[in-house]
A and B are shown apart, each in its own frame.
Chain A
């Protein structure tokens, strides 16, 4: 019987399955960070358990760490305590930690460093106590976020209890026009189908538009699967995938590489594989996207107008839209273009990789950011930062007037002091525009790195195509 990519990975990892119960799924790679793990390690201690597979468990710190120079102390006592706790837990349980001061310096956002170290590989099951673990699905791995009780279970057993999700084919054809990016694809998809469309499903992104994307762009798309309600989003591995992985630190080498490659080439969905549902999008018809509301589904083409709650299809949609516009202080039918902004944030596990920074630098080169606007550029990892500096991107950013900071989650989740003040507007390359997400009372427009950089120059929401050659 023909199988989907998801079914191939799922079936290869089920170690037990009782009727009317969740499957017991073996986990190949467990990524750990400081915010969702302390209670899990504490649980192990209380039960007298060890980490079953420390060789398959890797930790870093990203959510709460400052992005100020690393030689400065961590002023937030609670964050410092959480970081110290992770160091202690990793030492005690034998887990490899890519820490703030580990040498060589490989720390970073967990979903940036997994792929860049070659830990993330096709066909794997990957979990992390973070919903954006879906990012790793770009490599044809089944990767999803879990809660802290589940972190504890995986630490203790290297297994997870999971109900088998359904599959949804996401067909994306057409060729992107200039100024339109992977971020715009995923924002457009969620705007069309809603933030709950993928609940109970895993997405598999297919189609010529997907095949043409780089690994970084594929990661941007899979990253935001969760914003469409799908815990996991997959893309079949191909030569683009294999070229990205080859030679990375934890990638298979020599004969092991050849064996792995043969295995990985078997993973793509069979031609006649059946999905539980299908949705689609024409990438060729897209414009740069921007959100106007308080969930990632509230997005429009950047030249569009804010929807009118009175035209919403039902009362609950009307209420949701009214509530969002009140929070955002935007009016029905107004354009978003030209909306003054206070902050631009370029970073996060969605858009902080080297290609994202190159795109932003392409817009900012030789330009000055509007003096009204604070611009934070936060690389996704220490390695991304080094690479950007080797290419001279940091000089472009600094000469434009932006802040070039150390790696971390930063203003995406606003736990570390990088945050909006109440009432401020930001164009952000991150993934969530929920109320208060980037700081209590802050207002977020989600967009691509191109749109963010163009808006930084103009001081207001700006169509990047107006600044492109």
Chain B
């Protein structure tokens, strides 16, 4: 997994609530057996016309939005299906963080496992940030995971929550399977004590 320490980037604003995983990556792109190339299909139905040409008015297609690593989205981002293809597509495209007021539970877990930081801001700060980006589309934001802070372009700092375990995994770029594999003795003891046949 990629490490996440600090990130400084301009912002792609997507002021839409309840962005579901079918919008992030439509189901027809799930017929893959690896994780490659999904970034090309990120937001496919919002991003491309029927003939595959980019829709000029969709935010990701604007020339000045290229290379930005922070997505600023509306409430309840990532609702719907459990497809991990959603964070794979966001990371494949180049995003490293998504900011919202809340995330769907499964999406949040999936994002954390792929070095994509879900940043939860309070409603006021979130609204303020959309205001800043509207005023200055080139505003730059800094996210510091160790400090759990977002520094807004106007110097204001906001904090965001993340549990200690996920934070440590992200800061060090370690995945969680190794941690659980090391608990083999616990797992075996549990299985001896609790075996219920299926």
Interface residues of A (CB under 8 A from B): 12, 15-16, 18, 20-22, 24, 26, 28-29, 35-36, 38-39, 42-43, 47, 49, 52, 55-56, 63-64, 76, 78-79, 81-82, 85, 119, 121, 129-131, 133, 144-150, 152-153, 156-159, 161, 163, 165, 195-196, 199-200, 226, 229, 231, 250, 252, 256, 260, 295, 316-317, 319-320, 323, 413-415, 422, 432, 434-437, 440
Q: Is the CB of A156 within 8 A of B177?
A: yes
Q: Is the CB of A436 within 8 A of B26?
A: yes
Interface residues of B (CB under 8 A from A): 15-18, 20, 22-23, 26-28, 30-35, 45, 50, 74-76, 79-84, 87, 102-106, 109-110, 113-114, 163-166, 175-177, 179-181, 183-184, 186-187, 189-191, 194, 196-198
Q: Is the CB of A15 within 8 A of B186?
A: yes
Taken together as a complex, chains A and B put the C-alpha atoms of A450 and B110 apart, in Å, by 37
Q: Which of A130, A157, A158, A250 has the most CB of B within 10 A?
A: A157
Q: Is the CB of A196 within 8 A of B23?
A: no
Q: Is the CB of B22 within 8 A of A434?
A: yes
Shortest B178–chain A CB gap in Å is: 9
Q: Is the CB of B180 within 8 A of A29?
A: no
Question: How many A-B Cβ pairs are below 8 Å?
Answer: 196
Q: Is the CB of B84 within 8 A of A36?
A: yes
Q: Is the CB of B82 within 8 A of A229?
A: no
Q: Is the CB of A149 within 8 A of B113?
A: yes
Chain A hits for B198, CB < 8 A: 28-29, 55-56, 119, 121, 250
Known: A24-B180, A229-B76, A434-B20. A159 touches B31 (CB 8 A): no
- From A22, A295, A320, A435, contact of B165 by CB (8 A): A22
**Other CB < 8 Å A-B pairs besides A26-B190, A165-B105, 6 of them?**
A29-B198, A81-B31, A157-B180, A199-B76, A434-B80, A435-B22
Taken together as a complex, chains A and B put the C-alpha atoms of A147 and B103 apart, in Å, by 15
Shortest B185–chain A CB gap in Å is: 10
Chain A hits for B31, CB < 8 A: 35, 64, 76, 78-79, 81-82, 415
Taken together as a complex, chains A and B put the C-alpha atoms of A268 and B136 apart, in Å, by 55
Chain B hits for A36, CB < 8 A: 30, 82-84
Chain B hits for A85, CB < 8 A: 33
Q: Is the CB of B177 within 8 A of A157?
A: yes
Task: Find the A residue at minimum CB distance from B20.
Answer: A434
Q: Is the CB of B45 within 8 A of A440?
A: yes
Q: Is the CB of B16 within 8 A of A147?
A: no
Q: Is the CB of B76 within 8 A of A432?
A: no
